[in-house]
Amino acid sequence: MADQKKMVEDITSMEVDFAKWYTDICKKAELVEYTSVKGCMVIRPYGYAIWENIQRILDAKFKELGHENVCMPMFIPESLLQKEKDHVEGFAPEVAWVTHGGAEKLEERLCVRPTSETLFCEHYANIVHSHRDLPKLYNQWVSVVRWEKTTRPFLRSREFLWQEGHTIHATAEEAVAETEQMLNVYADFCEQHLQMPVVKGQKTESDKFAGAVSTYAIEALMHDGKALQAGTSHYFGDGFAKAFDIQYQSKENKLEYPHQTSWGVTTRLIGAIIMTHGDDNGLVLPPDVAPIQVVIIPVAQHKEGVLEKAYALRDQLSASFRVKVDDSDQSPGWKYSEYEMKGVPVRLEIGPRDIEANQCVLVTRHNREKTVVSLDNLADSVAEKISEVKQGIWEKALENRTRRTYKCTTMDEIKSVLAEKGDGFVHAMWCGDEACEDKVKEETGVGSRCIPFEQEQISDKCVCCGKPAKCMVLWGNAY
């Protein structure tokens, strides 16, 4: 197994340097490559295949709920962006501008979309006139640009892929219901398909989306104890409608302003998968989004009948799983390491003796456990192993979050717990005053992540000022 050991040595241990471990995996598992444009990345085929599987699952969920896909322009005229004051101020530091078309200077600068609210509003103003035109349930799969100063593959880049849903409704009640529904879609997706536990909650006023009435989010905890915002859903009220003069005639023949939402997840979900489930041997991929769910490794493939049997097993399993046979001339040990690095959930080993005994060896990636199984009913055996991987990585992620969740009643206690145990989720009470929110961040280093929907009465006093508390807040360091 010398080849396997050497491959593992190429990855920095997560306990030695978590950031370097993360970058090593992104590169060595062939997920990304850097480019000549700082902060932009090539998402390589293996990385993009993960995104395609995320997209496939979510897109089906959106369509089941009645959403339709559209595609808005990449460019936003500056005058259009300026129509919603809070919105433009929130994005101003990250906006990239186009000033020339060919050799000619443009009469008006064009913003390269950081998000598409203003474009959708312009469109709604043209097509929404009556209550019969509502609701509009739209989504688009596109890239956006935000001129980040500090970048890291998947987690924060200047151009990234995402989906952004945009809906418009006759009433506030309908829009709020949509906002909550889509947050639940994201939470269910993360937990059921990515095996990533999340906390659902509402962002504080200071941390909500620019121009929103309220922002809801799901927060996940990474292996190193840092939080990652895995998805957001925003209720806009009628603020954008008023700014863009979108009105419709109600059933009572009155002119009314509609209510809007937007919601989105990005390719940072791939970063979340890496940091939630990965280990020192590389990726550990949730089976539902793994590009390869089963890799077949022929052992002694030069011997008669081995490759033929591997191909036959591939054809048999392909009806239910994404399967690959590695028939390259690399050694079996090298192949074992390669597909551990790539996080393939199940490895199937088959050699001459196995064929003779009508069996094969199945190895599950998350725990490297080997099981000898009959070739009869093989698809059932593989399905069982896929389920074991899902359950195993879910339990590991949940245990990490449970172990790293701390309840604190004072700021000194927050500082003490973090100093002793390291980063994690901190549950602490808050009075609702933004000054206290800022002071907690300034003195302890952890900021507010969300106000969880599932509340817990840890004490009756604010962790900062000692005044009566209004709610429990989830605090943490974040990516």
Domains, in order of start, for the chain: 17-75+121-277 (3.30.930.10), 292-387 (3.40.50.800), 405-476 (3.30.110.30)
- Find, among 258, 236, 260, 91, the residue nearest to 170 by Cα: 258
The span from the CA of 466 to the CA of 445, in Å, is 19
* Residue 302: other Cβ atoms inside 10 A: 8
The closest of 115, 423, 43, 71 to 267, measured between CA atoms, is: 43
pLDDT of residue 5: 45
- Low-confidence stretches of the chain (pLDDT beneath 70): 1-9
Tens digits of residue pLDDT in 27-72: 999 999 999 999 999 999 999 999 999 999 999 999 999 999 999 9
Assess contact for 249 and 131: CB atoms under 8 A.
yes
For residues 355 and 52, what is the distance between their CA atoms, to the nearest angstrom? 35
Q: What angle do CA 310, 316, 317 make, to 5 degrees?
A: 90
Taking each continuous run of H as one helix and of E as one strand, the counts in the chain are: 15, 23
> 219 and 186 in contact (C-beta within 8 Å)?
no
Tokens of 400: 């990490």
Contacts (Cβ under 8 Å, ≥6 apart) of 318: none
Task: Report the C-alpha gap between 118 and 75 in whole angstroms.
Answer: 11
Q: Are 299 and 332 in contact (CB under 8 A)?
A: yes
Query: What does the alpha-carbon distance between residue 162 and residue 55 come to, in Å, rounded to a whole number?
Result: 9
Whether the Cβ atoms of residue 414 and residue 428 lie closer than 8 Å to each other: yes
Residue recorded with tokens 């003796």: 353
The pair of three-digit structure tokens given for residue 241, joined into one six-digit string: 């409608």
Q: Which helix (H) or strand (E) holds 42?
A: strand 41-43
Write down the pTM of the prediction.
Answer: 0.95
What does the angle CA 321 – CA 324 – CA 329 come to, to the nearest 5 degrees? Answer: 165
247, 250, 254, 256: CA torsion to nearest 10: -30
Q: Which amino acid is at 237?
A: G
In the DSSP assignment, the letter for residue 74 is S
- Alpha-carbon torsion 336, 384, 322, 311, what sign? positive
The rounded distance, in Å, linking the Cα atoms of 44 and 30 is: 6
Cβ-count burial of 274 within 10 angstroms (0-12 exposed, 13-18 middle, 19+ buried)? buried
Q: Length of the chain in residues, anyone?
A: 479
Q: Token match 């990490």: residue?
A: 400
What does the CA dihedral 10, 16, 18, 22 come to, rounded to 10 degrees?
0
User: Residue 93: what pLDDT?
Assistant: 87
Q: Which residues contact 421 (CB under 8 A, 6 or more apart)?
A: 404, 406
> Among positive and negative, which fits the CA dihedral 270, 276, 281, 286?
negative
| C-alpha to C-alpha distances, 365 to 178, 182, 348, 413, 421, nearest whole angstrom | 38, 32, 11, 39, 29
Token pair 């604190």: residue: 408
Q: What pLDDT does residue 285 have?
A: 98
